[in-house]
Amino acid sequence: MSLAPTNESELAEIVAATSEPLRIYGGATKRLLGQTCHGVELTTSGMSGVVTYEPSALTLIVKAGTKLAEIEQLLDENGQRLAFEPIDYCRLLGSLGEATIGGVVACNLSGPRRIQVGACRDFLLGVRFVAGHGKLIKSGGRVMKNVTGLDLTKLMAGSYGTLGVVTEVALKVMPRPETVADIVLHDLSDGDAIRALSQALGSPFGVSGAAHVPNRKLTPLRVEGTEASVKYRLAKLADLLAPMGKAEIRLDASKVSADWRDIRDAGEFAERSGNVWRISVRPSVGPELVEILRRQLPESTALYDWGGGMIWLLVPETQTAQDTVIRQGIANLGGGHATLVRANENARSTVAVFQPMSAGIAKISAGLRRRFDPREIFNRGIMN
């Protein structure tokens, strides 16, 4: 049985009264992310609905349990969208249920547009949450710029529920462009592909997605905007990338959108078994890292997003010490981080799911958790 408070004061009472750790979730779509974690189940899905939506101010305030799909539909009806394009983890993790905005915030989700516009944190204007002592706290607000006090809002994004239970979020929404199209390069080696993507991302032509799928030797680049603008920029990109061989321009918006959803969700790995890692490094070292990891972890497969800056890596479960190999490889190439996104329960309780931190940073992180959640009741152990 899950606890499902329907408003902030109910939630605050539960938190203040509990003597057990709480396992917090929204739509239960990302329960397999993070280290294994147990506790009394508490869902925020009972707190849902739009609080304020002002399209002319690009502002949306919703309760944390509001379903992401509902939000996306509402925005779509008003010609707007969440620009950070949060990944839908259901496919990769095989989870049922529907994602809530609270979960999106807690995991600081993003998608292929990360490189152009940012992640959830970059659009999060404010949050309300219940902290470990059972008090309701607000941070940020609803306006576009805000440096009033310390930015707890950023801290809450990506904290996996370990600092407090988010009850309400204010988001900056953006106009939805008229259309989307892409240009796809074929048959490039990883190295050439990443060079092509970097060149395109260094151009002024507004590339809003830059991926490389080694298995299918496809290297798509996405542009969005008005129809005339998209055509113009695709032509410019085609010129720029002409030395990379034949480029295919695709103008069918629904097909292009579907393919980019697939890239966003690492769809290629959804049906295949194995552990999935999410690796972030400086783009130019991506191919070299993958080359090394393929050698050291045979039968691994990579997908590149963010112009090569983010790598999805599928590794057979049987590869031992894969965390060490991956993290050593990253460290040798100038640093970055790796997160184990999909693995069985055993791996998730023995392997460090998140990139281990330096002692100094670990000390600060632990200190912050102690202040927000002195009794360690929120998603205990999920991040360490």
Q: What is the residue type of 118?
A: G
**E-only strand ranges, 101-233:** 124-130, 136-140, 165-172, 174-175, 179-186, 207-210, 218-225
Assess 16 for contact with other proteins (CB under 8 A). no
Q: How far is the CB of 67 from other proteins (least distance, A)?
A: 24
Residue in 39, 46, 97, 141 binding other proteins, rule: CB under 8 A: 141
Q: Pick out residues in 17-46 that bind other proteins (CB under 8 A).
A: none
Residue in 6, 18, 36, 198 binding other proteins, rule: CB under 8 A: 198
Assess 293 for contact with other proteins (CB under 8 A). no
| Three-state SS at 134 | coil
Stretch that binds other proteins, among 68-76, 204-212, 267-275, 316-324 (CB under 8 A): 204-212
Stretch that binds other proteins, among 53-61, 68-76, 85-93, 216-224 (CB under 8 A): 53-61
Q: How far is the CB of 318 from other proteins (least distance, A)?
A: 25
- Sheet with strand 275-281: strands edge to edge: 301-305, 310-315, 275-281, 336-342
Q: SS3 breakdown of the chain: % helix, strand, coil, rounded to 5?
A: 35, 25, 40
Between 284 and 296, name the residue whose CB sits nearer to other proteins. Answer: 284
Assess 280 for contact with other proteins (CB under 8 A). yes
Residue in 98, 122, 288, 291 binding other proteins, rule: CB under 8 A: 122
CB atoms within 10 A of CB 361: 10
Between 17 and 150, name the residue whose CB sits nearer to other proteins. Answer: 150
Q: Pick out residues in 142-161 that bind other proteins (CB under 8 A).
A: 142-155, 157-159
Q: Are 40 and 16 in contact (CB under 8 A)?
A: no
Residue in 40, 51, 58, 251 binding other proteins, rule: CB under 8 A: 58
Q: Are 247 and 184 in contact (CB under 8 A)?
A: yes
Find the helix or strand (DSSP H, E) in which 313 lies: strand 310-315
The size of the interface with other proteins (CB under 8 A), counted in residues, is: 83
Nearest Cα residue to 85 out of 205, 211, 200, 194: 211
CB atoms within 10 A of CB 374: 11
Stretch that binds other proteins, among 42-50, 92-100, 180-188, 302-310 (CB under 8 A): 302-310
Q: Pick out residues in 217-256 that bind other proteins (CB under 8 A).
A: 225-226, 228-229, 232-233
Between 247 and 279, name the residue whose CB sits nearer to other proteins. Answer: 279
Residue with tokens 């030395």: 243
CB atoms within 10 A of CB 357: 15
**Tokens in use for 193?**
């592909």
Residue in 72, 191, 357, 381 binding other proteins, rule: CB under 8 A: 357
Assess 189 for contact with other proteins (CB under 8 A). no
